[in-house]
Structures are given as C-alpha cells and as structure tokens.
Chain A
Amino acid sequence: MGKVKILPPSVINKIAAGELIDRPAAVVKELIENSIDAGAKRIDVYLEDGGRKLIRISDDGSGMDAEDLALVFKSHTTSKLSSAEDLFAIHTLGFRGEALPSIGAVSYARITTRVKGAISGAEIKIEGGRIGKVKECGAPEGTQIEVQELFFNTPVRKKFMKTVPTEMSYISDVLTRFALCYPNIHFTLRHNNRTVFNLPPVQEIIERIEGFFGNELKKHLLSVFLREELFTLRGFVAPPFLNKANARLQFIFLNGRYIKDTAIYRAISEAYQGKLMNKRYPIVFLFLTVKPSEVDVNVHPTKTEVRFRNKSVVFNYVLSTLKDALNKSQAKPIDIAAPEKIFQRDKANITSAAYNNRSLWEQFSFENTEEKTSGTHNGTKSVPVPLKKEELLVDKDVVVIKKRYFQLHNTFIVEETNEGMNIIDQHALHEIILYHEILKGLQSSQSPRQRLLIPELVELNPKDFFFVLSIRAQLEDVGIEIEEFGSNTVMIRSFPQILKHLNGKEFIENLTHDFGEEDCRKGNEGIINKLVNIMACKAAIKAGQKLDYQEIDTLMEKKKNINAYTNNCPHGRPTTLSFSLDELYKHFKRK
C-alpha cells in the first residue's frame, strides 16, 4: 500500500492556518481586509483577552447572501477572483480565499450577515473546521464575524501566543496601519469592554497621523508627491532631526495594502544617507499606487511581501522623490541639542517651555530688531579647564605629577598617562560605569527606588500603551513600578533613584522608540538588559556637558575601579582612545 495520501481538507486548512494565522493580530488583519473589500465605512473591532478569547469584527459593508455564506468557510472560495488573469489585476485586499477557512479550522467562528436592503440575514458557524448549516436570522446590514478560542485545537500554536499586552500591541499595530491607509473609514477598537481607540472618519491622512503620533510630528512632516504613468507616490516624511531608534515608524502602503519591501526600505535609507546617525531610522508614511498589472501581491499568504515587475524603477522613483523633499526642507528648526541648555538640569530653570503659548506681552514683534549674532552661545567651545594635578607624589623632595587631565570641547577628557595619553568620551565612559553599577545594584537588591507621593500619569498611544504593559514585570525589576490606569494611560508609582534627574513621563513615553524590534524578542533577561542600557544612557552625563574638577575627578576615579570593562559603552562605541608616546613621537617626526 502506498504511503502517499491526499490530506483531508481539515488538515489542509490547519496547515494553511499555520502559515496565515499565527496570532490574533493575523485574524484581525484578514477580517478587516474583508470588511474593506466589502466597502465598509465603519469597522468595529471588539476583543477579549487580547483576542485569545474573542475577536469580533463588525462592519457596515455589502454583506453576503445565504448562498455565498454557505461557501465562505470552504477553501479557495472567493468573490474577488474569477480567472487566473485576474491574479495580475488585483484591486482588492483579499483574493486567495484562504483566510476564513484557515480561521475556521482553528477556532469557533460565526458569521452573521445581511445584504443591504435584504429582509433577513443569514448565519453560519464553524467549529474547528466543521462547517455548520446556513440559518436565516435577524442581523444588521453588513457582516459580523466572531472568532472564539483561537487555536483551541492546535495547542502548540496556542502556547506560542504571548501575553495579552503583547498581543494587543500587535493588534493595535494592525489597526494603526489600516487607519492610516483608510482615513475615510471609521475604526473602533475595544478590548475587555474598554475603548482603546475610536477613530471617526477624517478627510486627510495627515489628520490620522496627527491623531496617532501627535501634533509635534505632524507640523514638521514634509509632503512628498510624484506622479508617473504607472506609478504614483504620495505621503509624508519627517525631516532627519526627527528620527527613531527603530524602523517602526516607517509605513509603506501599496494600493491600499501595508507592505514591507526591501527595495523601498533601501531607497528610504539611501535618501537619508549622511543625514542620520548610525542606527537611527527616519519616519516615513508612503502611499504608492501602482497599476495592479505591475505588481505581484501573491507572493506570501500574508500579502505583506510583493514583487514589482520593475523593482529598480520603483527604487529610483522613491529615492528621487524623498531626496527632493529632504533637500527642499529647511535645516533643523528647533534647537534640540544646544548643549548648554541640556545640562542645566539641576537649576530650577523654568523658562520658555511652559510659557511658549502664553507670552506676558501683547504686541511684541521679533521682526525689527537684529538677532544676537555674537556667537557666545557656542556649546561646543573648549572650556578653559586648566590642567589638573590629580595626585602629587612626594618622593625624596621631588614632586612628581602622576597624572593629569582636562576637558576638551565639553565632550572629551584628555588624560595624560605614563605611556602616552588617552582621549575619553565622557558620555560613553559614564554610561558604561552606570550600566555596571545599575546591574550590580539590581543583582544585590541594592538599587533604591523612590516612591512617588503623587503618582504620575502617562498617556500613551495604544501601541505604546500595550508595549509598556507587556514589559511591566521587567520595568518593575529595574525599579519602575507602573499600573494600568484607564484607557491608554499608565500610572508611575515608583521610579529608580538613579534616574532622579529624568522626567519619568518622558522616560516611559520614549520607551518604545528606545526599544528595537530585536530587543523585544530577547525574552525576560534581554528586556531587562535593554532597560538597564537605556537607564544608563539617559542618566549618564552627556556630550557637550561642562564638567567641573570634582566631576571629572569622580569619573576618572570610577574609571580606575572598573577599568576591565570600560573599553566600550553598552552601545558598542569605544570609551577610550589611547595614543602611545611612540605614536606621538612618530607623528611629530621625533623618531
């Protein structure tokens, strides 16, 4: 008897589900795509337990009649294609006919639907691949799909689901992408009876961008636009000074579909070449429209991967459009890094920030008077810190200067050594010292945290909210105690003393940007390590900060104690460059 068998449809669907439906966010994505294809103007997503217990998607789209409904859970049934040629002219988000059978194979699902204008609706159920009968029922116009107990019959996949906050973070990512691409659709997302977001339709994409990422980003965004015969590119890019530690704020949409494309990523990266520091990523929102025949979206079941007929043309278009936009943009309009300003953290210096919009003066124009141009505010100017005698050794009436150092450009410390000299990056050195001190403190439970008398509330966007909640245990491990406080808000209850000069609210708000995607995959220890890394970086003295003798002295003293691991900061940058006397002699042709 032959060993090769044709698999039963239930097994085929489970295998397909394995590729297509890997977590609740994938279900949400597939079902929203169906709703959009059905012409919905409002899509409501309701979830319980991060979608693990229940996902319910309701839309006001065209709905289905009983005949269509009977087929939806069967494999490769779709209303969006009729022939192989159609595959090369796809105008809809879905077309493979795989999503619903895959979802139905691994959950208890139910569809209730009514075609617009029909007297009654219809309902069908599926339980782990066993399709029920279509029944007539009362239903609102449109379609409602309920998916319960996802992966109930695939325990391995079920085990791979993450915590509720992590799953919610993925789901809000999915919703964010759709909401950005379809501003005219009303999206709502509710979780465990709480509204995560409610996004009424807006005219312009930029309004959605503002809603998600704030006015500060919106007001600096540069508009991009290019129209060619087969290709249209529109969207927004942020000027280089607004950048992120990861590429999460790079949104690329092709014909209304969120995609990931290496050629476009490369074009973005090249457009910003030389404008960003290493490992910093630009913020872009690009919406491409390409004639469907010019692109193959049928590469992977999730359809985030596409194949352009002419990849290099797309690359060139994106690159030239972005370059044009960036070249037209002005230089950095806000003085973010004026070093003198950054480091006056100990002074109760409450100047402009809180008052920008509330000048004491009624009629006062800056137009008629010349601006001060003397250049005395040059933060990188070398500080006249004289050489310091660190230690004098008195030996047989001869005074020997053992070591000397001074600060250079408020950023480096130059140290004379017996062998030559060291040039030390003050921030990198302090960062590595703090990194090891914090780790040591945590390991020995000797890391003090200050309880807050008035807990601080931090309002976050849904994605950041769920991300922060997903690492709550690790935050607690490093001394940051947070609690969930209503919709999209967390409350800081205690904060590490080592971060006493930092604003807790800003620290939490920036966490998602400080975390790279790979950091989130590292598990408990990796996340704690990353947090310690961030804490050390933020608490360390900065480049451009003027240090007094005492501060340099303390830093150098600590360097002596931990010399074994001060060659690189936690980011891998060197802390110290050493020059031997021999090298110096050679440079000056003395040898």
Chain B
Amino acid sequence: MKILSSGTALHKGFSLAASIVPSSAMKQILQGVKLEVTNNLAELTATDLEVLVKYRLPTKACEGEGGIVLPASRTNNIFREWSGNEEISVLVEEGHCTLQSKGGQFKILGDDHLQFPKISKTDVTDFVEIDGEILGNMVEKVAYAVSSIKALSIYSGIAIKISGDTMIMVGSDMNRLAVVKRKIHNPGNVTMSGIAAVKCLTFLQRFVSECKGILKVGIGESQIHFIGEKGEVISQLIEGKYPNYEDVIPKNNDKKIEVNRNELLSIVRMASFVTNEEYRVIEFSLTQGKLTIFSTAANVGEASLEIDAQYDGPDYTNTFNPDYILDFLKASDSETITIELGEVNDAALFRTGHEEINVMMPVDWK
C-alpha cells in the first residue's frame, strides 16, 4: 500500500488524529494512529477508548489496500518537520512504513492495523445538521463552567439537547451554570439529548477548525456522533440524568443593569488582582447609574473600581467569585451584558443578546 500526499495535508491530518492519542496507555497500539487505505481512500483513525476520530486524508495518489498503526508522537514530529514539503510518499510494507520526501527517508516500525480496536455497533439513527464553526463556538461558551472534579460525573460533561430547530448546550459545576442556544437544521424534527464528555467537545473544536463545513450530529443511547465531509468524531456519552437547567435560572430577579462587556471584564480582572489564591471574592455594588467593584485581601491591599451602568433601582451589594464572572465574560463575544440580580442569597443571572446565559451563586462570609 502506498500513498502520496502533500506535507501540509499529512501534517494537518496526522496531528489532528494524534492529539486524541493518550500520552500513556495500557496498550502500545493505543498510542498510535491507524493509517488505512480502502477503495483508494486513505483514512487516519485514533482513539483513547472514549473518543474516536476518523479523518479522510487528502491524497495525490493511492495504491493498493492495507494499513498500519504508526507511533503517534514520533511520526507526528516527522510530518511537522516535512510540513512544508510538496510531496511525501508513505509506503506500507510488512510491519513497517517508509516515509520518503525531499532530502531523505524514514523507516518506521508500526503495529498491525487489524489489531486496532474495532468500534462497537452504533445506536445512533437520527441526525441533525449544524455548521461546525457554530458548534465549536457553542462548546467554548459552556465548557468553562463544567466541573473539573471528575467524580461528579454528569457535571464533568456538557448536556446537549436537540429539539425542533434548536440545539442547547449546558455546562455546570453546581456553583454556576452556562447555557447557550443555537439554531439547527432538523429535517426529521427529532428530539434527542445526552451528556457528552468535555474532552470530546474540546477536541471537536479543533476538529471543526480543520474540517470546516456542515456537521451531522446524532445522539443515541450511549454514543454521540459528529460526522463531517472530511471525517467524524464519536464519543461515549456520560451515564446519568442531567437536572433540568431551567429550574435554576432565576425568574424574578428585579434589579437589572446593562453594562459594556469589555469595561466589566476590565474592572473585574483588575479587582481580582487584590484577592488571594484561596479566597476569591469581589463585592458587587450597584448605585444609581453606577456599578462599583470592590476587593480587599489581607497583606495585599484593596481596590475600588467603577463603570457606568444603566441602573435606577435601590442600592444593592453582593459578593461573587471573580473567576466565575471572568470565565463568562471571556467566553462571550457580545458587546453588552445584562445582569439580573435578586436578593443577597439569590443566584445572579448574566445574559447576552446571543442566547447565552450564565447563572452563578454568590459567595458569603462565614
């Protein structure tokens, strides 16, 4: 089996597949990327046993059929060095592969591609369509709120709900919640939902930047599939029932302000300079037409920063974790942010005009 491809195409495709390969795995074969040619189509496959990626490699020529599992890291280094080369030939023979390009060649030992794990039969039957770039952007807007403590399994994933012409993604670590909604093409009017691992979705962000265009998305009992023209990503769903996110979105917060996102980002970031590592607290104070952020830390000092805000309600003060506010503001691309606040112990609601919501609980002092 032999393929001929450009240095750029091989490097892009191989590094994408290699990025899902675990740095340490119980089996050597899982530390490799499978290269396979069937029906004159070259395909790269990699997995960490939770997420699988398949990428159709653009080639100039394909001869024969067969495959090999190449060591991900070493082979990727070679393709990176040759990424500017016009042509690379990959010749697969018994147990090894010869990479040849301008100025030299490598003989790389590989594993039998038939030993590479086979995917279990899928239970995904229905698909909807969405632009890959929009999907990647949705992930960015909720991934920050997902819990990094893995024992909280359902909160270590992003809940995806598809219904009618809308896809909703929800992320939460139980202290805060991020929601984003986008339109989709749903010709079969199917409804489906599941909790996808953050790892899969953050990889998907990289995948869609390489494989632009429309993606088909399908959710089954145990798997979620993203299928594009150049490849596909398949991941195991996290078991469990995600709580109804709408229940925690405050409905009666009566104090509303509208502020410029960049201005708010700037003063919250500055105020967070005067907090310490263990105690991340800023005070949020509303007065007529003004939002003031105050912070203080023992042995450091204090900060008081203000911006104009459209507000004419009663004076209000509450305390929040600045990291939560910064995470939301950094992920948003809206020019203005609406903040809805209730009583001192009530959750605060941050929203943008782009169907993005963040709900966070205040911090109090004990």
List CB contacts (< 8 Å) of A470-511 with chain B.
476-479, 494, 496-498, 501-503, 505-506
Q: Does B61 contact A (CB under 8 A)?
A: no
Residues of B within 8 A of A354 (CB): 150, 153, 156-157, 197, 238-239
Contact indicator B366/A450 (Cβ below 8 Å): no
Q: Does B94 contact A (CB under 8 A)?
A: no
Contact of B280 among A445, A456, A494, A497 (CB under 8 A): A497
Residues of B within 8 A of A498 (CB): 278-279
Write the chain A residue with the least CB distance to B197: A350
Contact indicator B152/A503 (Cβ below 8 Å): yes
Least distance between A391 CB and chain B CB atoms (Å): 18
Write the chain A residue with the least CB distance to B362: A451
Contact indicator B28/A360 (Cβ below 8 Å): no
CA A6 – CA B319 in complex, angstroms?
A: 71
CA A115 – CA B254 in complex, angstroms?
A: 69
Q: Does A419 contact B (CB under 8 A)?
A: no
List CB contacts (< 8 Å) of B121-153 with chain A.
121, 143, 146-153
Contact indicator B359/A453 (Cβ below 8 Å): yes
Write the chain A residue with the least CB distance to B31: A372
Stretch with Cβ within 8 A of B (4 or more), from A32-40, A41-49, A287-295, A363-371: A363-371
Contact of A358 among B150, B236, B364 (CB under 8 A): B236
Residues of A within 8 A of B49 (CB): 355, 359-361, 364
Contact indicator B151/A503 (Cβ below 8 Å): yes
- Bitwise, B225-255 to A at CB < 8 A (1) or not (0) is 0000000001110110001000010000000
Residues of B within 8 A of A501 (CB): 148-149
Least distance between A350 CB and chain B CB atoms (Å): 4
Contact indicator B24/A372 (Cβ below 8 Å): yes
Interface size of A as a range: 35 or more
Stretch with Cβ within 8 A of A (4 or more), from B2-10, B78-86, B98-106, B168-176: B168-176
Contact of B366 among A353, A452, A478 (CB under 8 A): A478
Write the chain A residue with the least CB distance to B361: A451
Contact indicator B281/A448 (Cβ below 8 Å): yes
Contact indicator B25/A372 (Cβ below 8 Å): yes
CA A539 – CA B202 in complex, angstroms?
A: 28
Interface size of B as a range: 35 or more
A454-B174, A498-B279, A505-B152 as given contacts; A449 in contact with B27, CB under 8 Å: no
Residues of A within 8 A of B143 (CB): 348
Contact indicator B120/A361 (Cβ below 8 Å): yes
A369-B115, A453-B347, A478-B366 as given contacts; A497 in contact with B279, CB under 8 Å: yes
- Bitwise, B26-66 to A at CB < 8 A (1) or not (0) is 11110100000000000000011111100000000000000
Identify which of A366, A369, A554 gathers the most chain B CB atoms within 10 Å of its CB: A369
Contact of A360 among B52, B172, B345, B365 (CB under 8 A): B52
Q: Does A30 contact B (CB under 8 A)?
A: no
Contact indicator A441/B279 (Cβ below 8 Å): yes
Q: Does A362 contact B (CB under 8 A)?
A: yes
Q: Does B321 contact A (CB under 8 A)?
A: yes
A348-B146, A453-B347, A554-B277 as given contacts; A353 in contact with B361, CB under 8 Å: no
Q: Does A556 contact B (CB under 8 A)?
A: no
Residues of A within 8 A of B360 (CB): 453
Residues of B within 8 A of A361 (CB): 49, 117-120
Write the chain B residue with the least CB distance to A447: B366
A350-B150, A441-B279 as given contacts; A362 in contact with B120, CB under 8 Å: yes
Residues of B within 8 A of A453 (CB): 172, 174-177, 248, 347, 359-361
CA A347 – CA B359 in complex, angstroms?
A: 22
Identify which of B153, B174, B223 gathers the most chain A CB atoms within 10 Å of its CB: B174
Write the chain A residue with the least CB distance to B174: A454
- Bitwise, B321-361 to A at CB < 8 A (1) or not (0) is 10000000000000000000000010100000000000111
Least distance between A453 CB and chain B CB atoms (Å): 5
CA A479 – CA B364 in complex, angstroms?
A: 9
CA A476 – CA B366 in complex, angstroms?
A: 8
Contact indicator B50/A360 (Cβ below 8 Å): yes
Residues of A within 8 A of B175 (CB): 450-453
Least distance between A79 CB and chain B CB atoms (Å): 53
CA A447 – CA B280 in complex, angstroms?
A: 10
List CB contacts (< 8 Å) of A371-398 with chain B.
371-372, 376-377
Write the chain B residue with the least CB distance to A340: B24
CA A346 – CA B150 in complex, angstroms?
A: 10
Contact indicator B28/A369 (Cβ below 8 Å): yes
CA A318 – CA B335 in complex, angstroms?
A: 74
CA A494 – CA B174 in complex, angstroms?
A: 10
A358-B239, A369-B27, A450-B321 as given contacts; A351 in contact with B362, CB under 8 Å: no
Residues of A within 8 A of B184 (CB): none
Identify which of B52, B115, B365 gathers the most chain A CB atoms within 10 Å of its CB: B365
A447-B365, A497-B280 as given contacts; A454 in contact with B243, CB under 8 Å: yes
Residues of B within 8 A of A442 (CB): 366
Q: Does B198 contact A (CB under 8 A)?
A: yes
Least distance between A157 CB and chain B CB atoms (Å): 36
Residues of B within 8 A of A434 (CB): 278
What are 22 pairs between A and B in contact, CB < 8 Å? A345-B148, A348-B146, A348-B148, A348-B199, A351-B199, A353-B150, A354-B239, A355-B197, A359-B120, A361-B49, A361-B120, A362-B118, A363-B117, A363-B118, A366-B26, A447-B365, A448-B365, A448-B366, A452-B361, A453-B248, A454-B243, A502-B149
